[in-house]
């Protein structure tokens, strides 16, 4: 719908402004052998006395109402949402309530100047549902947030410059107590520049500063990188970034490690796919401050018709103590944590208001000894879902 009162703009601008409220209700029935359904230490025990090494699966029901508001005009795109997840475990009778919210704004201030802002926050009882796997090395509830600000200025037909800031924060709510573990934060300002050398090839440079905080501890890192973006075809683009990162730990630890990130994106009507590979420093894990991380992810969507599509995703992570402790060793043990996730599903659009989905997931994570000793975080999920949109 179009409204003239929401943003207080001139009549000419208001004529092109669209304000669209959104509402969706989802129902899910699943089988989940989540280890937290067993009697592991620090969890609510389940009748029957299952152990963490022998988790007992349960049937569960989930109800997820979601509301949102979108605002669009020729220079603005705003999307926002808030959702809750009410999860009922039939076997144990346990009930949990999760919360999710997000906001994304893209604004053209002029023909040359663009601002992008985004942020999201999650309060979840299942850390594996977060958009970052390295946080999910626990069976405790987590409060997690992330945000990003980016400003891009087109200096000429060939040159773009930009500056930005990203933030991550996490709090592990061990046993439901807010003061059980300190919060972890990562602050990352950066500047970059891109030069279009041909219609297909762009070259870039970037400087990045990182501040990692965990309680009273603060580590820092400085990085200088080169970048290359190449259009392989009309629908496929690859981006490669790389360079050295100098790490300065508060405890006197020093070191240099490589940062590498490869992205491949294919977008074409009935088939979309994305691939990312990298090695970098990360923080906000919830249990320690700065970690090195290897990561990889693959996603795809295949549309067979306007109503039927399948999707899939696979991801892997591996991390350890910064800057390089056992980073180039293949062993997994006290100093290295790793895990993977696999997911696939089928979606059927009944009509523009109703869709159905069937999905299966496999998650496996191995935690470092001081983080999750003896905790089995492996799980398998099979689910059917019904989504209903109000308009």
Q: How far apart are CA 291 and CA 286, in angstroms?
A: 11
pLDDT value, residue 40: 39
Contact 133, 315 (CB under 8 A): yes
Tokens (6 digits) for 209: 């500063």
Percent of the chain with pLDDT over 90: 62
Phi and psi at residue 184, to the nearest 5°: -120, 140
Q: Per-residue pLDDT tens for 180-227?
A: 678 899 999 999 999 999 999 999 999 999 999 998 899 999 999 999
Q: Compute the average pLDDT of residues 336-351.
A: 92
Q: How far apart are CA 13 and CA 33, in angstroms?
A: 53
Phi and psi at residue 129, to the nearest 5°: -85, -5
Q: How far apart are CA 278 and CA 150, in angstroms?
A: 22
Closest residue by Cα to residue 116 from 167, 157, 150, 78: 150
* Distance of alpha carbon 227 from the chain centroid: 23
Q: Per-residue pLDDT tens for 85-106?
A: 999 988 778 888 999 999 999 9
């Amino acid at each position: 719908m179009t409204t003239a009162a929401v943003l207080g703009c001139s009549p000419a601008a208001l004529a092109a402004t669209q304000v669209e409220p959104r509402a969706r209700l989802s129902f899910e029935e699943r089988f989940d052998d989540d280890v937290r359904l067993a009697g592991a230490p620090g969890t609510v025990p389940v009748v029957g006395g299952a152990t963490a090494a022998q988790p007992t699966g349960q049937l569960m029901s989930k109800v997820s109402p979601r509301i949102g508001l979108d605002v669009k005009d020729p220079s603005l795109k705003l999307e926002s949402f808030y959702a809750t997840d009410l999860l009922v475990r039939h076997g144990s009778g346990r009930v949990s309530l999760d919360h999710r919210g997000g906001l994304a704004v893209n604004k053209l201030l002029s023909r040359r100047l663009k601002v992008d802002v985004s942020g999201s926050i999650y309060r979840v009882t299942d850390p594996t549902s977060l958009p970052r796997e390295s946080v999910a090395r626990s069976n405790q509830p987590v409060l997690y947030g992330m945000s990003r600000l980016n400003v891009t200025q087109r200096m000429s037909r060939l040159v773009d410059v930009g500056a930005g800031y990203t933030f991550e924060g996490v709090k592990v709510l061990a046993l439901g107590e807010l003061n059980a573990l300190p919060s972890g934060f990562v602050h990352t300002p950066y500047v970059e520049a891109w030069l279009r050398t041909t219609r297909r090839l762009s070259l870039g440079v970037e400087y990045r500063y990182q501040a990692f905080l965990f309680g009273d501890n603060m580590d820092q890192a400085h990085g200088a990188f080169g970048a290359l973006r190449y259009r392989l075809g009309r629908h496929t683009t690859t981006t490669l970034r790389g360079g050295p990162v100098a790490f300065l730990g508060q405890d006197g630890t020093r070191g240099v490690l490589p940062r590498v990130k490869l992205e491949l994106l294919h977008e074409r009507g009935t088939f979309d796919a994305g691939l990312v590979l990298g090695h970098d420093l990360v923080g906000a894990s919830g249990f320690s401050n700065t970690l090195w991380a290897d990561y990889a992810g693959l996603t795809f969507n295949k549309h067979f018709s306007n109503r039927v599509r399948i999707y899939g995703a696979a991801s892997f992570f591996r991390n350890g103590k910064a800057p390089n402790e056992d980073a180039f060793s293949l062993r997994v043990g006290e100093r290295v944590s790793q895990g993977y996730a696999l997911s696939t599903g089928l979606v059927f659009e009944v009509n523009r208001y109703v869709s159905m989905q069937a999905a299966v997931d496999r998650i496996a994570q191995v935690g470092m000894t001081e983080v999750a000793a003896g905790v089995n975080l492996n799980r398998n999920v099979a689910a059917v879902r019904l989504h209903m949109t109000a308009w």
